[in-house]
Amino acid sequence: MSRVQLAILSAIVAMAALPSRSFAVTNAVVGTCKTGTQFTTIQAAVKAATAGSTVQVCPGVYPEQVAIGTNLTLKGVTSGTSASVTITQPAGGLLPNAVSGLFGTLAVQLYVRATNVTISGIAVDGTLPSTAAACSSNSARWVGIMYQGGGGTLTGSSVLNAGCPGGISVFTDATPNAMSITNNVILNCGVSCIEVDYADTTTVTTAITGNTISVSPGNAVAQIGNTLGVEIQYAAGTLKVLNNFISDVGMGVLIENSQGVAVTGNTVAECQAGIVLGLVTASTVQSNHIAGALYGVYLQDANGSGGNTITKNTILNSQIGLDLLTPSGDVIAPNTYGNVQQTHN
């Protein structure tokens, strides 16, 4: 064998030893309702998709656990008269696949780990399959949709039925990029319907806008008295909670250890507490409509240095309109009260 032949043979052997590669596609389709590169699972499609492309998902039920690590759009599409795209738990339940500094090990159904991902027209149903292990034997906390360490947009989607008590329907954790949670439906949550932790929004905006959030009375997983509609912890910068409808939860909106949050134009009904601010500074609670709450607005200043503005709210059919603990430097008038036993406490 000549030296040239030997060199060619060596190169072929070396190439054969390399791990196989899958080539990215720009027109990934899950199902057969659209033309493109077709896949049978959402996970296979997002893994193959080119950064910046759109993965179209045909109507159907997809029992899988999905992780997205590429900047892309995941979009449910209409085919004929159907536009229902639902991700359910696999038959054996979810595997732990994420960790949170506050909550420990998580089992996330739709997990986003990229800097800019848009999800639209997707439903996530956390109902535990009959073949899966019981909640008490699963140490990982259930999460429906989670964005971690990045950002993006969640719109026109839904999360239904917390997988287990203590679950979180929509969770953003340590997101330094712009984040928009807009026009979604969140029903029958566990401990929290929408939770935002450690949002560093100094130069970008996190917005929670136009969502419908509710827990059905008697729901076995969601405990109405303990469920939080929107919870924000350790956030700083520009964060907005705007024009959401929240009902039948323990607290409608809970903001803790944060600054610069605007809670505006929301409707909060039949909750134990409408809007709660704990150790919050330089924030605004304005033009909200709160009805049927034990406490309309509860305020606890951070070391007496609040600088918060609570004005132009309408509080109806409540025991206490404003419950103030150590208020200092806050603007708390004017507000409108109706059938409130005690305006201030």
Would you give the DSSP letter of residue 135? Answer: G
Q: Which two tokens stand for residue 231?
A: 């919870």
CATH number at 60-246: 2.160.20
- pLDDT on residue 202: 66
DSSP 33: S
Mean pLDDT of 313-323: 94
* Three-state secondary structure call for residue 314: strand
CB 104 within 8 A of CB 97: no
Parallel/antiparallel/unpaired status of strands 168-173 and 192-197: parallel
User: What is the pLDDT confidence band of residue 345, given thresholds at 50, 70 and 90?
Assistant: low
Tally the C-alpha atoms within 13 A of residue 210's C-alpha that lie toward its C-beta. Answer: 9
- pLDDT of res. 327: 63
Residue with tokens 């008038």: 333
Per-residue model confidence (pLDDT) at position 163: 86
What lies within 8 Å, CB to CB, of 82 at 6+ separation is: 59
Residue with more model confidence, 145 or 199: 145
pLDDT of residue 18: 35
Length, in residues, of the chain: 345
Condensed to tens digits (0 to 9), the pLDDT of residues 288-308 reads: 999 999 999 998 875 556 789
Look at residue 158 and tell me whether its pLDDT is greater than 90: yes
Domain ranges of the chain: 60-246, 250-345
Query: CA-to-CA distance for 111 and 70, rounded, in angstroms?
Result: 11
Q: What is the mean pLDDT of residues 31-40?
A: 97
211 compared with 225, residue with greater pLDDT: 211
pLDDT at 58: 97
- For residue 27, list its beta bridge partners: none
The one-letter amino acid code at 345 reads: N
**pLDDT score recorded for residue 138:** 64
Read off the amino acid at residue 62.
Answer: Y
Average pLDDT score over the chain = 88
Where do the H-state alpha helices sit in the chain? 3-17, 42-48
On whether the pTM is more than 0.85, the answer is: yes
In tens, the pLDDT along 325-340 reads: 766 688 999 999 999 9
Burial class, 80, CB count within 10 angstroms (exposed 0-12 / middle 13-18 / buried 19+): exposed
Where is average pLDDT lowest: 1-5, 60-64, 323-327?
A: 1-5
pLDDT band at 279, cuts 50/70/90? Answer: confident
* 102-148 pLDDT tens trace: 999 999 999 999 999 999 999 999 999 988 888 866 679 999 999 99
- Least confident window among 34-38, 111-115, 269-273: 269-273
The percent of residues above 90 in pLDDT, for the chain, comes to 68
Per-residue pLDDT of 82-94, as tens digits, reads 889 999 999 999 9
Among 23-32, 39-48, 76-85, 218-227, the range of highest mean pLDDT: 39-48
pLDDT of residue 66: 98
Report whether pLDDT(1) > 80: no
Q: What is the pLDDT of residue 81?
A: 86
Give the least confident one: 14-28, 146-160, 163-177, 193-207: 14-28
